[in-house]
A and B are shown apart, each in its own frame.
Chain A
Amino acid sequence: MSVINSAPSHSVIPAKAGIQGHIGRRVGLWVPAFAGMTMGVMGALTPYGAAAATPCDRACLTAIAERYMDALVAQDWRMLPWAKSVRYSENSVPMMIGDAIWGSISGHARDATIIADPASGNVAWLGRVDEHGQPAFYAMRIKVINGRIAEVETVIRRKEGRPPFGDAAGFVHDKRFAEAPRAKERPSRAVIAAAVQNYYKSVERNNGTVFAKFDPACARVENGVLADTGRYAMAQGCAAQLKAGLFADVGGVRFRVPVIDAERGVAVAFGYFDYPQRETSFNSSDGRSFEAETKYPYSLNFAALFKVTGSGAIQRVDQVAPELNYRIPSPWKE
């Protein structure tokens, strides 16, 4: 499993520094102080995703995300405060701001979920967009440095293609993503990050071993569809589906966790599930057989919202996930 960490302190790592690597391993461009540390130790010493040079608080980040979406619908990128050097990607392809969805968008939802992370300067906006009136599931991350937008990462799932694709026009996120638990019931950044890491560790080559903790009522939603049909009807709930080994076809998981909102116990992970599809059917851990969804290799590019309790149990996973070329590289690692 490849883990692409969120960048440590911007004050020591340039904005363009490479951020790929395994948590707890020495990574090429990390400062030596982080080398060899476990995630827990690292989390204790330095918040997971440390402070930007000039703080932009929750309200500031939220306002920038909203302004970005309004500028996008207006198809006028000049409305926004840009950093001197900006990185932009859409479904894993780097390109110029103003191209792609900047030319096809016709509207966006007003009831989006916005997750702000003042500690890292990142903010995510997840909701619905319309392109020439056709709704699509949309997730976007912005990194703000000194009050200016330095990075924009977007993941968009449109209607065409294989399921799942739910009612994008009527979709709303679980309201718990916006709720802030009482201070003593909040998980730390390190606990949230560990929950996400353990989730993907459980998914990759899933054989029934579950490394993550789950709330008994945990549910998973993909492109607006609750994962309880098809193969997922074989076991209900996040933990049960992993225990049943229903993700056995996921050959690899590559991910980063660039946005963590500790006040709300929410993280936004970006990454890929790689499906090599060398087999056409798989066995659940209790011996039942289920079919591979395709006979060809592919990757799912995802932006996933996680809600985590104070004890580190995952309550909800909600992802936007378009199908892309098998093992398409991430432009957010170097």
Chain B
Amino acid sequence: MGLAALSALPAAAQAPGERSAVYPLDCDRGCLIGFARSYMAALKAHRPSEVPAAKSVMFTENNVPLAIGDGLWGTVSDVSADALEVADAETGNAAWFGYVREHGEPAIYAMRIKVVDRKITEVETVVHRKTGLPAPFGEVTRMEHDHAFQEVLPAEQRRPRARLVAVAQSYFNTVEYNDGTVFAPFDEECARLENGISTTAVPKGAPTGAPAPGSGGPPPAAGSGGPPPASGGGGNASAIAQGCEAQFKLGLYRINKRVRERLFPIVDEERGVVVASGFFDHANYFDSYKLTNGATMRTAMKWPNSISLLEAFRIRDGKIHRIEAVFTYVPYFMHNPWAGAK
């Protein structure tokens, strides 16, 4: 096809990746969250035909493309009544964080949908089950989603879309190769919920405080995942250091070789919310490492693994105030079909 023919195509007049030069904005936040609820209701009812889906809908479960009706659809027995719900009318995306049950067994769950012309065109899900691998897994009946995600910020505490994404990126930059360098701006009250567990507050009954230099590192708090839940390990980092920033200054998450295939499909400027997806790659080329205070930590697993995540950030006055994440183990370096070609 020649250049003349190409230039005649209307699609060539759109910004790359956009269907129209004007955002349709035909489904606002409430509308998008309504679609998310419709999806979850259909899931709970085992009725894939009731999903208001486009013919070309694409569905993934833990980064594997499936037909709607397969995977969790065949095992689900309940859906949590309470959820963290967020949406972005500009991109037409909504997300839902909560839990499900499969034949009665709980699984931590997060999903993202995209709505175009009042039809769901994309469904991305992360389902974290009890597989025997060491990872945080909260008591779902006590899971509480922080209400701050729903609060509209006063105008002076809001930031534009690009800055909100940059702050979320800076969090991932801090996680990646965490050697004590902190790139992210953290609110003093920053708190994080991972797979239904607070990994920044003092765990009940747990000994606290950073391990002393040369102590050999603390035993894993949960399973054998080692200290860094924020990066997919099984222990609770809050037993070692409390608060978002302190853990990173200590270099607890050193095992993250990469934070890969980062996407930011949802930004809510009014509430300061960003939802990201991506992978934390635990290469585990080493099986012990030093914290910035000189203490030695041992890795929980001796082999390469990755975690796939959907993570919500609440950013207040340009600083990370709340984080809620759902993640699960996937084979090392697994690709996200939503991330496109490398």
Binding site for B on A (CB under 8 A): 90-95, 99-101, 103-104, 131-134, 136, 156, 158, 160-162, 276-278, 280, 294-298, 323-329
Contacts and interface: CB of A to CB of B under 8 A. Distances in A.
Contacts of B133: 160-161
Interface of B: 61-66, 70-72, 74-75, 102-105, 107, 127, 129, 131-134, 224, 283-285, 287, 301-304, 330-335
Contact of A93 (B75, B131, B134, B332): B332
Given A132-B287, A162-B131, A329-B64, A297 B302 contact: no
A294 to B, nearest CB: 8
B333 A100 contact: yes
Contacts of A277: 74-75, 102-103
B285 A325 contact: no
B224 A160 contact: yes
B302 A327 contact: no
Contacts of A92: 331
11 contacts: A104-B283, A104-B284, A104-B302, A132-B284, A160-B301, A280-B103, A296-B75, A297-B71, A326-B66, A329-B64, A329-B65
Contact of B104 (A156, A295, A297, A327): A295
Given A90-B331, A278-B75, A295 B302 contact: no
Given A104-B284, A158-B303, A296 B102 contact: yes
Contacts of A132: 284, 287, 302
B71 A324 contact: no
Contacts of A297: 70-72, 74-75
Residue among B72, B303, B333 with most chain A CB within 10 A: B303
A66 B301 CA distance: 27
B262 to A, nearest CB: 18
A100 B306 CA distance: 10
A159 to B, nearest CB: 9
B177 to A, nearest CB: 14
B64 A328 contact: yes
Given A100-B333, A326-B64, A162 B302 contact: no
B8 to A, nearest CB: 34
A276 B303 contact: no
Contact of A295 (B65, B70, B105): B105
Contact of B129 (A91, A103, A296, A328): A296
A162 B72 contact: no
Contact of A161 (B61, B65, B72, B132): B132
Contacts of A158: 301-303
Contacts of A91: 331-332
Given A104-B283, A104-B302, A162-B131, 9 more contacts: A100-B283, A134-B303, A158-B303, A276-B75, A277-B102, A296-B131, A297-B70, A328-B64, A328-B331
B131 A323 contact: yes
A96 to B, nearest CB: 9
A31 to B, nearest CB: 29
A133 B302 contact: yes
A327 B61 CA distance: 10
A103 B72 contact: no
A160 B331 contact: no
A325 B330 CA distance: 7
Q: Is the interface of B mostly helix, strand, loop or mixed?
A: loop
Given A325-B330, A327-B64, A327-B66, A101 B303 contact: yes
Residue among B107, B301, B304, B334 with most chain A CB within 10 A: B304
A323 B132 CA distance: 11
Given A104-B285, A104-B304, A327-B70, A162 B104 contact: no
Given A276-B70, A326-B71, A295 B285 contact: no
A329 B335 CA distance: 11
Contacts of A328: 64, 331, 334
B48 to A, nearest CB: 13
B75 to A, nearest CB: 5
Contacts of A103: 283-285, 304
A99 B64 contact: no
A99 B281 CA distance: 11
Given A93-B334, A104-B283, A295-B103, A160 B129 contact: no
Contacts of A298: 131
B303 A136 contact: yes
Contacts of B129: 294, 296
A325 B303 contact: no
Contacts of B75: 276-278, 295-297
Residue among B105, B133, B331 with most chain A CB within 10 A: B331
Contacts of A280: 103
Contacts of A162: 131-132
Contact of B332 (A90, A134, A327): A90
A326 B63 CA distance: 10
Contact of A325 (B63, B284, B287): B63
B66 to A, nearest CB: 6
A174 B58 CA distance: 45
Nearest to B304: A100
Contact of B304 (A101, A161, A296): A101
A78 B302 CA distance: 24
Contacts of B131: 161-162, 294, 296, 298, 323
Contacts of A94: 335
A113 B162 CA distance: 55
Contacts of A100: 283, 304, 332-333
Contacts of B63: 325
A104 B332 CA distance: 12
Name the 8 nearest CB pairs between A and B, nearest first: A103-B285, A132-B287, A295-B103, A278-B74, A132-B302, A134-B302, A91-B331, A100-B304
A132 B103 CA distance: 38
Nearest to A301: B331
Nearest to B308: A325
Contacts of A93: 331-335
A158 B132 CA distance: 12
